[in-house]
């Protein structure tokens, strides 16, 4: 009897061997729930089980394309097309993935083929857009004869003038170009930048908005508006344009470059790195600007090796950029933690109403990885409004040796003491920043009163002791003085000299 039960049980067992179709359906269910990671795993298994199913290959490629794994998507679609070359959807996605990879000839070929196969298909509008993109890109690269070549040459001349600071000449030329060619959008964008550089900000914005009204979605206009609002510190408007730009997935190589450079300029380094690195991976040989922004975006998004390689390429094209590296003054692998690498903290100091706070901000230019970005900003460094002391600090911070020749020895000794304090208290934490705030008050008032700042080591030790002993018990002069290579007696002497410059000792 027992034996019969076992035989009956065996007969009731249903053998289940999952097929590619089974995992394909599981993937579709996952996609309907926006579970892309699960869908990717199911589709991978489905392809392994059904490698000759063109529709499964196509669906896997679509998921890979959405995840920006374009090379793998192209491989899958090519396999699917070999199996089903009459399937119009496969043809469309071949066009799209080639456009993303910058293979414009193939992108246009498959877009045209899709429209021939299915002119009223679900992706007809997108295929037309790809045709338009590739036509515009090829025009920019190859059609340099006749009228088109003439207007591009005029714009190039205007661009050169802008690079040399001859903005009025550029404006006159670009205004003539758009008068004769009212649909030449790149000329409008360059004219808007020229207006901005001469202070005609509202006119610049109006022109860019006009471009967007007449040429909806113009990427260069959107990027330029983001940059303008960034420079003007219009946070709400900047956030709006960055959100718009974050949703754009450009086909054209030029647009990828523009998008990456814009994100880098406004400090969105991870997004910048994504686009600029994608260009480099495709063999793009950029200009100096490309490698400059690639290096910065790579460095600040944690890809130091790529950053340094890109900088080497930059120096081959523009040797004068040496000394502007984002990691200047840091060792390979140094952390980017600390207030000296907090751009907003430094900018807040530079724009502070108190000179001692501005001195702190200027000093940090010597330490920050954001130095070039801050110096290049048209609003953050106001040399014309600086006092002599601030000008000296700026010159010392950015290493302008010619300017330092006229700086007083007193300031240079005070600056040396500041560096000694930084050696003991970096990276700068919030608590440590209060020490420097105190020190720059002492430094400012001491120089105003012709204090000589002799013995930088002892001065740094004295300032450190004054700060720490006011906040904690058990701080000894002996321990502090040893850190700076001086003696307790000397530290005591300079404490008595510095204390007179604290505001609370004013008469």
Predicted confidence at residue 400, as pLDDT, reads: 64
**Alpha-carbon radius of gyration of the chain:** 31
The answer to whether residue 4 scores a pLDDT higher than 70 is: no
The answer to whether residue 142 scores a pLDDT higher than 50 is: no
Task: With respect to residue 168, please indicate whether it lies within any of the assigned structural domains.
Answer: no
Any idea which residue has 């579709």 for tokens? 28
The answer to whether the beta carbons of residues 444 and 389 sit under 8 Å apart is yes
Confidence of residue 252 (pLDDT cuts 50, 70, 90): confident
- Mean per-residue pLDDT, 100-110: 78
Bond preceding residue 61 cis, omega within 30 of 0: no
Task: With respect to residue 146, please indicate whether it lies within any of the assigned structural domains.
Answer: no
Cα separations in angstroms, 346 against 51, 340, 374, 440 = 57, 7, 9, 15
Task: With respect to residue 149, please indicate whether it lies within any of the assigned structural domains.
Answer: no
Predicted confidence at residue 458, as pLDDT, reads: 96
Predicted confidence at residue 420, as pLDDT, reads: 96
Task: With respect to residue 77, please indicate whether it lies within any of the assigned structural domains.
Answer: yes
Cα–Cα distance between 302 and 284 in angstroms, integer?
Answer: 22
Cα–Cα distance between 272 and 270 in angstroms, integer?
Answer: 5
- Mean per-residue pLDDT, 54-77: 85
Q: What confidence tens digit (pLDDT) does each residue in 342-363 have? A: 888 999 999 999 999 999 999 9
Q: What are phi and psi of 276, to 5 degrees?
A: -70, -40
Give one DSSP letter per residue of 191-231, joined into a string. HHHHHHHTT-HHHHHHHHHHHHHHSTT-HHHHHHHHHHHHH
Q: Where a domain ends, among 102, 134, 166?
A: 134
Three-state SS letters, 350-405: HCCCCHHHHHHHHHHCCCCCCHHHHHHCCCCCCHHHCCHHHHHHHHHHHCCHHHHC
The answer to whether residue 454 scores a pLDDT higher than 90 is: yes
User: In angstroms, how far is the first alpha carbon of the chain from the final one?
Assistant: 112
Q: Which domain holds residue 76?
A: 20-134
The answer to whether the beta carbons of residues 178 and 214 sit under 8 Å apart is no
Going by C-alpha positions, the residue among 8, 77, 80 that lies closest to residue 50 is 80
Average the pLDDT over each of 15-29, 174-188, 192-206, 347-361 and give the range with the smallest value: 15-29
The answer to whether residue 19 scores a pLDDT higher than 80 is: no
Predicted confidence at residue 14, as pLDDT, reads: 41
- Mean per-residue pLDDT, 192-200: 88
Cα–Cα distance between 345 and 339 in angstroms, integer?
Answer: 7
Cα–Cα distance between 440 and 358 in angstroms, integer?
Answer: 9
- Mean per-residue pLDDT, 406-411: 86
- Mean per-residue pLDDT, 407-416: 92
Cα–Cα distance between 322 and 314 in angstroms, integer?
Answer: 9
- Quick one: 436 exposed, middle or buried, by C-beta within 10 A (0-12, 13-18, 19+)? buried
What lies within 8 Å, CB to CB, of 440 at 6+ separation is 356, 357, 359, 360, 363, 418
Q: What confidence tens digit (pLDDT) does each residue in 290-299 have? A: 899 999 999 8
Long-range contacts (CB closer than 8 Å, 24 or more residues apart) made by 168-176: 168/198, 170/194, 171/195, 171/198
Going by C-alpha positions, the residue among 362, 436, 350, 373 that lies closest to residue 400 is 362
258 vs 401: which has the higher pLDDT: 258
Average the pLDDT over each of 17-26, 109-118, 352-361, 476-485 and give the range with the smallest value: 17-26
- Mean per-residue pLDDT, 29-39: 74
257 vs 14: which has the higher pLDDT: 257
- Mean per-residue pLDDT, 5-31: 61
- Mean per-residue pLDDT, 200-211: 93
200 vs 284: which has the higher pLDDT: 200
Predicted confidence at residue 99, as pLDDT, reads: 82
Going by C-alpha positions, the residue among 348, 377, 378, 379 that lies closest to residue 361 is 348
Predicted confidence at residue 13, as pLDDT, reads: 43
Predicted confidence at residue 422, as pLDDT, reads: 94
Q: Where a domain ends, among 68, 101, 134?
A: 134
Phi-psi region of 34 (alpha: psi -120 to 50; beta: other; left: phi over 0): left
* Other Cβ atoms closer than 10 A to 496: 9
Predicted confidence at residue 143, as pLDDT, reads: 46
* Residues listed for the chain: 507
Confidence of residue 459 (pLDDT cuts 50, 70, 90): very high
Tokens of 176: 């003539």
Average the pLDDT over each of 16-30, 162-176, 249-263, 348-362 and give the range with the smallest value: 16-30
What lies within 8 Å, CB to CB, of 502 at 6+ separation is 441, 442
Tokens of 117: 């196969």
DSSP state of 340: G
Any idea which residue has 């008469």 for tokens? 507
Q: Where a domain ends, among 110, 134, 158?
A: 134
Cα–Cα distance between 187 and 443 in angstroms, integer?
Answer: 51
- Quick one: 14 exposed, middle or buried, by C-beta within 10 A (0-12, 13-18, 19+)? exposed
- Mean per-residue pLDDT, 474-487: 94
Cα–Cα distance between 168 and 198 in angstroms, integer?
Answer: 8
**How many domains is the chain built from?**
2
Q: Indicate the pTM of the whole model.
A: 0.59
Task: With respect to residue 139, please indicate whether it lies within any of the assigned structural domains.
Answer: no
Confidence of residue 506 (pLDDT cuts 50, 70, 90): low
- Mean per-residue pLDDT, 135-164: 63
What lies within 8 Å, CB to CB, of 216 at 6+ separation is none
- Mean per-residue pLDDT, 397-416: 81
Going by C-alpha positions, the residue among 221, 269, 228 that lies closest to residue 261 is 269
Long-range contacts (CB closer than 8 Å, 24 or more residues apart) made by 397-400: 397/362, 397/363, 397/364, 397/365, 397/366, 398/365, 398/366, 398/371, 399/323, 399/366
137 vs 180: which has the higher pLDDT: 180
Q: What are phi and psi of 443, to 5 degrees?
A: -65, -45
Predicted confidence at residue 135, as pLDDT, reads: 60
Task: With respect to residue 325, please indicate whether it lies within any of the assigned structural domains.
Answer: no
Please report, for the domain that includes residue 83, its CATH number.
1.25.40.10
The answer to whether the beta carbons of residues 379 and 370 sit under 8 Å apart is no
- Mean per-residue pLDDT, 401-414: 80
Predicted confidence at residue 2, as pLDDT, reads: 47
Task: With respect to residue 288, please indicate whether it lies within any of the assigned structural domains.
Answer: no
The answer to whether residue 21 scores a pLDDT higher than 80 is: no
Task: With respect to residue 377, please indicate whether it lies within any of the assigned structural domains.
Answer: yes
């Amino acid at each position: 009897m027992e034996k019969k039960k076992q035989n009956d049980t065996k007969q009731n067992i249903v053998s289940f061997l999952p097929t590619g179709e089974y995992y394909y359906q599981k993937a579709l269910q996952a996609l309907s729930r926006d579970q892309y990671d699960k869908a990717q795993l199911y589709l991978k298994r489905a392809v392994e089980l059904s490698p000759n199913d063109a529709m499964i290959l196509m669906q896997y490629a679509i998921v890979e394309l959405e995840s920006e794994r374009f090379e793998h998507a192209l491989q899958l679609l090519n396999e699917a097309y070999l199996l089903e070359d009459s399937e119009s959807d496969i043809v469309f996605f071949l066009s799209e993935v080639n456009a993303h990879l910058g293979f414009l000839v193939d992108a246009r070929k498959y877009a045209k083929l899709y429209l021939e196969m299915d002119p009223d298909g679900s992706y007809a509008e997108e295929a037309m857009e790809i045709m338009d993109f590739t036509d515009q890109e090829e025009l920019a690269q190859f059609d340099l004869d006749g009228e088109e070549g003439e207007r591009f040459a005029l714009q190039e001349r205007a661009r050169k003038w802008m690079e040399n600071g001859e903005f009025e000449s550029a404006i006159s030329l670009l205004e003539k170009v758009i008068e004769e060619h009212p649909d030449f959008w790149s000329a409008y964008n360059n004219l808007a930048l020229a207006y901005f550089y001469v202070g005609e900000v509202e006119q610049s914005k109006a022109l860019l908005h006009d471009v967007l009204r007449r040429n909806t979605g113009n990427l260069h206009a959107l990027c330029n508006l983001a940059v303008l609002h960034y420079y003007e510190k219009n946070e709400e408007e900047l956030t709006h344009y960055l959100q718009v730009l974050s949703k754009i997935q450009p086909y054209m190589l030029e647009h990828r470059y523009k998008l990456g450079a814009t994100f880098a300029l406004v400090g969105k380094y991870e997004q910048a790195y994504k686009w600029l690195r994608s260009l480099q991976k495709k063999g793009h040989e950029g200009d100096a600007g490309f490698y400059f922004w690639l290096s910065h975006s790579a460095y600040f998004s944690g890809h130091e090796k790529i950053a340094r390689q890109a900088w080497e390429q930059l120096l081959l094209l523009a040797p004068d950029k040496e000394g502007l590296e984002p990691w200047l003054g840091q060792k390979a692998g140094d952390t980017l933690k600390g207030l000296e690498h907090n751009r907003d903290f430094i900018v807040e100091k530079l724009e502070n109403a108190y000179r001692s706070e501005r001195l702190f901000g200027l000093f940090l230019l010597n330490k920050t990885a954001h130095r070039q970005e801050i110096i290049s900003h048209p609003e953050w460094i106001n040399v014309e409004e600086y006092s002599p002391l601030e000008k000296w600090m700026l010159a010392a911070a950015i290493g302008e040796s010619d300017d330092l020749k006229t700086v007083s020895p007193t300031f240079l000794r005070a600056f040396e003491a500041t560096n000694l304090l930084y050696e003991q208290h970096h990276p700068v934490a919030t608590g440590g920043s209060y020490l420097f705030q105190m020190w720059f008050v002492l430094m400012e008032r001491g120089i105003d009163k012709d204090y000589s700042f002799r013995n930088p080591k002892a001065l740094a030790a004295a300032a450190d002791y004054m700060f720490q002993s006011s906040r904690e018990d058990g701080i000894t002069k002996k321990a502090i003085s040893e850190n700076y290579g001086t003696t307790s007696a000397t530290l005591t002497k300079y404490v008595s000299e510095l204390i007179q410059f604290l505001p609370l000792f004013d008469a």
